[in-house]
Amino acid sequence: MKQGKTLSALAVEIERQSTAKRDFVAATRSLEMLVEDGAAKLSVPGVGAFGMNGHANGQLAAHLDIPKRYYDRMAAGRPELLARNVNTWMGAEDVKTRRMVRTLDGTARAFLSDRYQPFDNDLVAAAALETLQDVAPGMLVQSAELTGTKLYIKASFPMIQREVKKGDVVESGVLISNSEVGAGAVDVAPFSTRLLCLNGMKHTAFGARRNHVGRVVGGQDGAEIFQSDTLRADVKAFLLRLRDVIRATVDPAQFAAIVEQMAEAAGQRIEGDVVQVVEVTAKRLLLSDVERSGVLRHLIEGGDLSRWGLANAVTRAAADVEDYDRASELEALGGRVIEMPVASWREIAHAA
């Protein structure tokens, strides 16, 4: 499992961002792309121009249906051409079409629908940690991070452990993740740690998600968004639901069901050619060539040619990845190997 920030460092950065971020809403056609000092910026009426990070640029390109490779080429070499393209298409949109622009430290970090519901990291983290300390006082935060697009808290419950097979112990836990910029829902799912190697695995099928979709945000063009009583009520209701889901992950009965899946997987052998099995798995899971090679190496080195062994080879590959977001995705993909239907597993297991 990749290590990120300490819990105290995470809290400091979340608090800093909560005071530094500003959100605005405006009709798309009132927004404008400018070029200053050779760089494209997004101008919000009555507010000013903001540089845009890669994530916001990607969202703007997708919204205007401009191919991303062409968008990036214009941004790098012909920013004036990019501005003309963007302004032409934004100006052609319906007057009722509005977007939310989320900024941090003077940079536009997200270009979203005006129905986007900001369940922000400070609220999610506070509710999650308070609930964990209440229902699982012995819990340990194993890994936490705040990337450019997501918050992650991975906690374990040392008091809840079970054997998948003799000597192969897994420990119960929970993964809480959130994105303030449209890169994912608020996600709470069981998260196990294999004590032999400390690999982490997300169990999506037992989790719950809450998309950031709510009421249309009102206000004049360029208006800064503050939470109304209605929006605060939505957030309060969501946080109560979040606490309920976290409590469910601490239930030993749920963890027993997860371990039963793992134990069944440990008994399901790979019957086909190992190289082809990994090849088919990589295509199913959309792994890169480097990740595919890593999974094959870890599967052979682990010596467990079973469904359980393949899942652990995928989660072990997460430790080889520099990017925390991608490492977390690989931990979820390892869980998908365990959770996939039997028919899908047979196609992989018998690949030749």
| Confidence at residue 344, expressed as pLDDT on a 0 to 100 scale | 94
Across the chain, which has 352 residues, the per-10-residue mean pLDDT values are: 89 94 93 94 95 96 97 96 97 91 96 88 89 89 95 95 96 94 90 94 86 56 54 70 82 93 96 96 97 97 96 96 96 97 95 89
152 backbone φψ class: left, alpha, beta (φ>0; ψ -120 to 50): beta
Q: What is the pLDDT of residue 153?
A: 96
> What pLDDT does residue 221 have?
58
Question: What pLDDT score was predicted for residue 218?
Answer: 52
Distance from C-alpha of 310 to C-alpha of 282, rounded to nearest angstrom: 11
Quote helix, strand, coil % in the chain, to nearest 5: 50, 25, 25
**Predicted pLDDT at 246:** 83
What is residue 219's predicted lDDT score, i.e. its pLDDT?
A: 54
Distance of CA 327 to the CA centre of its chain: 10
**C-beta separation of 251 from 155 below 8 A:** no
- Site of tokens 């300390």: 133
> What residues form DSSP beta bridges with 278?
none
Report d(CA 39, CA 35) in Å as an integer.
Answer: 5
Roughly what angle, to the nearest 10 degrees, separates helices 307-317 and 324-339? 170
Show Cβ contacts of residue 212 under 8 Å, excluding neighbours closer than 6 positions: 116, 117, 118, 119, 179, 182, 185, 186
β-strand pairing of 107-113 with 98-104: antiparallel
pTM for the whole structure: 0.90
> How confident is the model at residue 222, as a pLDDT?
54
